[in-house]
Amino acid sequence: MAINVALYGERGHRWSMTERGRGALDRSATEFRVGPSRMVWERDGLTLHLDELAVPHLSRIRGTIRVDTDALNPRSFQLDGTGRHHWRPIAPLCRVSVDLDSPSLSWQGNGYLDSNWGAEPLEDGFERWDWARATQVEPGTTGRRATILYDMHRRDGSKQALALRFDRDGSLEELTPPPRVALPGTFWRVARRTQADTTDGVTVRQTLEDAPFYARSVLDSRLYGERVEAVHETLDLDRFRLPIVKLMLPFRMPRRA
């Protein structure tokens, strides 16, 4: 088990994802603890108490993150044809408050909370997927609603695309997925794709994570006639299955008994 923390900013990036043994895990109906960090559900929101060690420079990430929700989405979605993989966008629109002692940082903004679970490893069920969460960026509308895109290539050769729009009151509208659009490749040559109104309607503003099998990016795009800002991720599970990639993982994901 691990709690993953990733910070991006002008003062540099910090990453922590320390895997810990069963003895470091504890959970109840309202709390989940892994080692020195824990997540607590209270007052219609989630509070994360973090105390992690960033790699590779071994600096601390310590402090709290508060995620407040206006409405919870009760619906989950089956991602494969056999019911072994599921996903629930728990709170598509959140208010996030970050207050860290180390490094000394604090800010507020909009956020997102979801959950994936399954009965087998992801690489057994999927070849790859592209996911994005977009919010409107026109003046006066930021955070009013969110559009979530999920484009999956399954291991059995089939494909599935979801396009969901959530309003702040929690209401859900299922949309026809826009056309697929190729994005520039990464340093590790991970092939990124997204969905947008037109092939020239999307650009990569910033690449936040660039790994041999994964990329996280910020996009400027157009969806359903609106200009949006999107957080986008590509997960290449064919790459993840390669033995050489598995050997690299402990450098970013150290293990503690």
Q: How many Å apart are CA 222 and CA 91, to the nearest integer?
A: 23
- The encoded tokens of residue 188 equal 């590790």
Question: How many CA atoms lie less than 13 Å away from 34 in the CB half-sphere?
Answer: 18
Phi-psi group of 250: left, alpha or beta (phi > 0 → left; psi -120 to 50 → alpha; rest → beta) = alpha
Kindly tell me if the per-residue pLDDT of 139 is higher than 90: no
Please report, for residues 27, 128, 249, 254, the alpha-carbon distance to residue 56 in angstroms, rounded to integers and kept in the order given.
Answer: 29, 27, 12, 10
Mean pLDDT, the chain, rounded, equals: 93
pLDDT at 145 over 90: no
Given pLDDT bands bounded at 50, 70 and 90, which one contains residue 142?
A: very low
Phi, psi at 111, each rounded to 5°: -150, -165
Judge contact between 199 and 188, C-beta under 8 A. Answer: no
Please name which of 128, 79, 80 lies closest in space to residue 236, comparing C-alpha atoms: 128
Task: Label residues 74-110 b or e (16+ Cβ within 10 Å = b).
Answer: eeeeebbeeeebebbbbbbbbbbbbebeebeeeeeee
- And the tokens for 130? 């592209």
**Of 88 and 144, which is predicted with more confidence?**
88
184 and 192 Cβ atoms separated by less than 8 Å: yes
As a whole number of Å, the CA-based R_g of the chain is 18
The predicted structure's pLDDT at residue 136: 76
- Residue 83, pLDDT > 80, answer yes
Residues 163/178, Cβ–Cβ less than 8 Å:
yes
| CA distances from residue 183 to 25, 71, 176, 187, 197 in whole angstroms, order as listed | 39, 33, 21, 13, 14
Between strands 255-256 and 19-20, the pairing is parallel
pLDDT, tens digit (0-9, with 9 covering 90-100), for 199-214: 888 999 999 999 999 9
